[in-house]
Structure 1
Amino acid sequence: MSKGTRYTMGNGILLKLAVGVCCALAVFGLAACTPRGAAVGDTQQEQAPAHDNVPGARTTIALIGSPHASNADTLAVNALDADDDFDVVYTATAGLDDPGATARQAVLDAVARRVNLIMISDFTEGEEGAWSQTLGKARESGIPVVLLNPEGEPHDPLLYAAVFRVNDRMMDAVPLAKAADTVIRDEPHDREMMVTTITATE
């Protein structure tokens, strides 16, 4: 057996080892993105480590619109857009034959795009099984989910990080963009937060 053949076999072994290590790291990375016993992005303890975004990186938020026709979604989009670090991908569902199916597909699309946060406006408890499966995909991918003014909440608290309720009349309400950033960075926050869509420029 020549040295060249041994070298080729060695490369093959190294390649297999490299592939094995990469696979193990991928599995570990996925597991690390999904906290045990808590929703992704649901940090409520000060000692929990916070995760900063990569400097200069854009943050993408997928906002799934309300099934009801209102200007609430527009206010939310404008409030998030006011933050220069955010890119907002908005999906309208109002007026559609099956807004629930459209919303769930939008969540799956957001997961595929690897967004930083999924925000669902006026979430309802209908079709719980379908929603559990859809939100489970976001959890498995390590993407936090926020419910904006929900009409109901999933039975499984591990499927969403927080509930945001908009109240633009409360002086101590947290700006929507700041609240979203807190969840994205996995910094300590209340499970339910009062937020405002009023920005500093208004």
Structure 2
Amino acid sequence: MNRAGRVLAVVRRLCGLLMAVALLAGLPMLTGCAPKGRAVGDSWNDGTVPHDGVDRSDILVALIGCPQTGDKDPDAGLDSRILASLKAERIKGYFSSAQSTSDQQDGVQDAVNRGVSLILIRRPGAGNWTPVLKAARKAGIPVVEFAQSAKAWTPDPGRLYYAATVHPVDPAGHPHSPMLADALQTIVDDGPHARIMAVRLSADREGAEDEHRQ
């Protein structure tokens, strides 16, 4: 990792620590960690100078689960597959379960307090997301939606609060789609990426049938 990458990693750690101190002390939120006019993790432009990013061993992803809509969960096991996919590519992650939109938002706030590298939200529920998304933005933490299909999340018309939507695809039918870990690494590093990205949870056919159903 070169000097620019080391500086980026240090700045993000400091943002997380400063946010935690501000929350504990009841101080106003700090805003210096948020890029002007763009979402954290989506502020690159054609003039951005290429640089090495954050080491994968230093990345921590908070996976926020989705509320269950019925007795039978059609996505049973998906959270475990997401974390296993990240672990296989040397990215650490933890799971925050949720039974409601409020639980999801509490999980996001907890992730902000912990100073994670990226927040990955599965199927965000309906509700007012602006306060917690603002908190993540002010802390300099990119937010990504993990969706079932290639459809952008709706609460962010100004593209200020979340960096991208990712959705899983069959690795056999989409061999050139990036691994989830690679897509999230690009966002953490604020590299060029699409607003909606198809991603693979596994590198081969194993587990493809389950992914294709998501």
Identity over the aligned pairs, expressed in percent? 33
Runs of 4+ that moved beyond 4 A? 50-57
Q: Give unpaired runs (5+ residues) of structure 2.
A: 1-17, 19-29, 207-214
Identify if the C-alpha distance between structure 1 residues 127 and 78 changes in structure 2 by more than 3 Å, giving closer, same or farther.
Answer: same
Equivalent residue number for residue 195 of structure 1: 199
Q: Distance in 2 between matches of 1:177 and 1:83?
A: 6
Deviation at 1:54, TM superposition (A): 5.3
Is 1:154 equivalent to 2:160 in the alignment? no
Q: Distance in 1 between matches of 2:147 and 2:44?
A: 20
- Structure number with higher helix proportion: 1
Equivalent residue number for residue 93 of structure 2: 88
Identify if the C-alpha distance between structure 1 residues 113 and 122 changes in structure 2 by more than 3 Å, giving closer, same or farther.
Answer: same
Q: Distance in 2 between matches of 1:137 and 1:167?
A: 31
- Relative to the length of structure 2, the TM-score reads 0.69
Moved more, 112-121 or 30-39: 30-39
Deviation at 1:172, TM superposition (A): 2.1
Does the CA-based 8 Å contact 1:50-1:186 persist in structure 2? no
Q: What SS does structure 1 have at the residue aligned with 2:198?
A: strand
Is 1:142 equivalent to 2:148 in the alignment? no
Q: Distance in 1 between matches of 2:79 and 2:192?
A: 26
Identify if the C-alpha distance between structure 1 residues 147 and 75 changes in structure 2 by more than 3 Å, giving closer, same or farther.
Answer: same
RMSD of aligned Cα (Å): 2.6
Does the CA-based 8 Å contact 2:33-2:138 persist in structure 1? yes
Identify if the C-alpha distance between structure 1 residues 45 and 53 changes in structure 2 by more than 3 Å, giving closer, same or farther.
Answer: closer
Is 1:118 equivalent to 2:91 in the alignment? no
- Relative to the length of structure 1, the TM-score reads 0.73
Equivalent residue number for residue 33 of structure 1: 33
Q: State the AA in 1 paired with 2:133.
A: L
Deviation at 1:58, TM superposition (A): 1.9
